[in-house]
Structure 1
Amino acid sequence: MPFDVLEESEIRTAATAARPIPADTKPQITLGRKAQSGSIAWITTIVMAVFHLGAIAALFMFSWKALICSVVLWFYASNMGIGMCYHRLLTHRGYKVPKWLEYFMTIGATLSLEGGPIFWVATHRVHHQLSDHEGDPHTPKDGAFWAHIGWILCGIALHDETAVLARYAPDLARDKFHVWLSKWHWLSLVVVAFPLYWIAGWSGIMWGIFLRVTLGLHATWLVNSWTHMVGSRRFETKDSSRNSFVLAMFTGGEGWHNNHHAHPVSARHGLTWWEFDPNYYGILLLKKLGLARDVKVAHWDPANPKPAGVA
């Protein structure tokens, strides 16, 4: 199956597009612990506490129907939603799909309770631009706890600040659906609670929402923290990103983080046959079905193992 090889010029172009657009008239934000840790985001903190307590309670409410519901929603929300859509499609534009499919995948991502598309994409683009430097929203250089969850619990909540975040995600801010979903991103969890209750009762809600969401959040947060502290480095990037086999198994391939920071536009993060990358396999399936095109793939040359954009 032929693929489009990811050229360094394409990576530079995409990276430039992800930078803040220089418009002094637009509001600006400052991220990182130095700027954001002065206060506690109480609403977010309370919601996180409730979900963690719900996840513990779910362990005492097991049913096979609830387990099946949570597994199905995990693939839709975490793999297709966060990994394939928020990350590789919307943030880095590693491939293209029809708008109806993009919207369907984006709705799935909101079921992970990681914020709306504009918030997630803008935050991640800032992370790549300033990775492990001042202004990075969640660098472990500001502390492991900060990188994992502290950055979520402290500072200013920006989920609904479309006008501010548009500076970092202008492509999404021009799309009315993404703007609307960014404001009402939590609504999908409320809607999905009804069929979960109909299928598996309260255990369906506890497993399909509280336990699944909590585990999914920690999986994403571990990519922010763990893969900037522990693991191997194939590429000498300008940050501390690392590859983690264990986390890649748990996140559908997102744990190949050093590979990703070296080749951010690549829809493929696992660069060798043994680097398991289910999210990429999902993209290949979409391509096979004629639903994905312009799939950008970085090919690692062991004889010249340089990151993207390095001469």
Structure 2
Amino acid sequence: MALIISALLKPNSLPFSLLQRVTPTAKTRRFSCKVLNSGHPDSELNQIQRKQSPLGSSLVTQLRRSYSNGEVSALANRVSVVAKEPDHDLKTQGRILFSDVVVQKRREVFWRGNWNALDIASAGIVLAMHLLSLCAPFYFNWPAFWLAAGLYLVSGLGITLSFHRNLSHRSFKLPKWLEYLFAYCGVQALQGNPIDWVSTHRYHHQFCDSERDPHSPIEGFWFSHMNWLFDTSTVIEKRGDSTNVGDLEKQPFYRFLQSTYILHPIALGALLYALGGFPFLVWGMGVRTIWVYHITWLVNSASHVWGRQAWNTGDLSKNNWWVALLAFGEGWHNNHHAFEYSARHGLEWWQLDLTWYVIKFLQVVGVATEIKLPSQLHKQKMAFNN
């Protein structure tokens, strides 16, 4: 999930610039990074990553961690890279409950003094949606309930089908009018505009579960779930300037959504209020939005903590069946990290994947083309017994 209020403020409107953040007056952090199974070797996205990533798209083949001393070492193109982060702002923690995931360093988000306007705005909207949803028991009616369910389907698929599989990974192609329509549905999930959402997600894959991952449980379960959204300075410091979404930035439609993003959910809220009064606003915006929020966030948190690994991805990604049910197939997360380019995440017949079923339907009616799926050779390469 990208920064929720990213369109309200441009990066240069923050109380610091990227240049100021890396001046020699502060102790420079050295990070390791890794790119694992970055996708189909001939994909358009892979070509973009090879051009725009400073370290290439197939960089790291092995990763080992030392949780006792905070070091991360990686074998990158047969060159060992070791990074150690200073501990002055972090606290060492233990395992996450009912998992084998160790919190290497817990990052404090709320009790810090460097909140900027973007952090405050993001936290304000998340809090407002939660408070609005508390009114739901007092303003329940069946039309409002079914409205929320319908918008959950529309905005949820806007995230999973459009923002994630179509725009982030280019798993398939759609006619531009339909691509833009699905992307607009994703905007109504109130998770950010497509450019910023896709950029953050691509960085997640590029640096998955390393110190440069925007949201990894190695910094705490709640940090990976939602707290990272309220610490934009750290996210920017980790990833640097956004240089991985040139394919979207050159399209006027996505630039328009980036500059006007927050106006569209506001317009939807006004429409719902006009159609059904306060109950429609409570259920259609409050309840539905926080439901989609936490389901999306569970992919970042729970699917890197609880579940099973079917493929040797070298990260913490897990296949989690209950997240998959809630998130339209996104919970088959280890499958996804093994084959990022794949339009299908539920690779087994019993792995329900609603997003894939919609994509398959779009293929049958002739509007979805160039659908990418993992080859048998790639599966053999990613198997643990290889």
Question: Taking structure 1 as the reference length, what is the TM-score of the superposition?
Answer: 0.85
Aligned to 1:220: 296
Aligned to 2:167: 90
Determine the C-alpha separation between the residues in 2 that align with 1:95 and 1:303: 19
- Structure with the greater relative contact order (CA < 8 A, sep ≥ 6): 1 or 2? 1
Distance apart, 1:36 and its partner CA = 10
Aligned to 2:335: 259
Aligned to 1:234: 310
Determine the C-alpha separation between the residues in 2 that align with 1:169 and 1:65: 39
The yes-or-no answer on 1:110 pairing with 2:141 is no
Aligned-partner SS, 1:297? coil
AA matched with 1:45: A
Distance apart, 1:291 and its partner CA = 1.2
Determine the C-alpha separation between the residues in 2 that align with 1:147 and 1:247: 15
Alignment of 1:2-41 (within 5 A): 8-10=40-42, 14-15=45-46, 17-18=48-49, 21=52, 39-40=114-115, 41=119
Determine the C-alpha separation between the residues in 2 that align with 1:127 and 1:197: 37
AA matched with 1:96: K
Aligned-partner SS, 1:215? helix
For the 8 Å contact 1:95–1:267, the answer to whether it is kept is yes
The yes-or-no answer on 1:63 pairing with 2:94 is no
Q: Where does structure 1 lack aligned partners over 5 or more consecutive residues?
A: 1-6, 24-31
Distance apart, 1:300 and its partner CA = 6.0
Distance 1:20 1:112, change over 3 A: farther
After superposition, give the CA deviation of every residue in 1:75-112 in whole Å (9 maximum; x if it has no partner): 11112x00000000000000000111111111100111
The yes-or-no answer on 1:51 pairing with 2:83 is no
Distance apart, 1:298 and its partner CA = 2.1
For the 8 Å contact 1:271–1:300, the answer to whether it is kept is no
Determine the C-alpha separation between the residues in 2 that align with 1:279 and 1:77: 12
Q: How many residues align?
A: 290
The yes-or-no answer on 1:124 pairing with 2:156 is no
Distance apart, 1:215 and its partner CA = 1.0
Determine the C-alpha separation between the residues in 2 that align with 1:73 and 1:18: 33
CA-atom RMSD, angstroms? 2.9
Q: 1:297 aligns with which of 356, 368, 373?
A: 373
Aligned to 2:326: 250
Distance apart, 1:299 and its partner CA = 5.1
Determine the C-alpha separation between the residues in 2 that align with 1:112 and 1:20: 31
Query: What's the % identity of the aligned pairs?
Result: 33
AA matched with 1:17: I
Question: Taking structure 2 as the reference length, what is the TM-score of the superposition?
Answer: 0.69
Determine the C-alpha separation between the residues in 2 that align with 1:139 and 1:286: 33
Between 134-143 and 35-44, report the one with greater CA deviation.
35-44
Distance apart, 1:122 and its partner CA = 0.3
For the 8 Å contact 2:53–2:244, the answer to whether it is kept is no
Distance 1:10 1:22, change over 3 A: closer
Determine the C-alpha separation between the residues in 1 that align with 2:372 and 2:183: 20
In our comparison, the structure showing a higher alpha carbon Rg is 2
AA matched with 1:63: N
Determine the C-alpha separation between the residues in 1 that align with 2:198 and 2:324: 21
Aligned-partner SS, 1:10? coil
Q: Name the structure with the higher strand share.
A: 2
Q: 2:155 aligns with which of 61, 77, 81?
A: 77
Determine the C-alpha separation between the residues in 2 that align with 1:113 and 1:190: 10
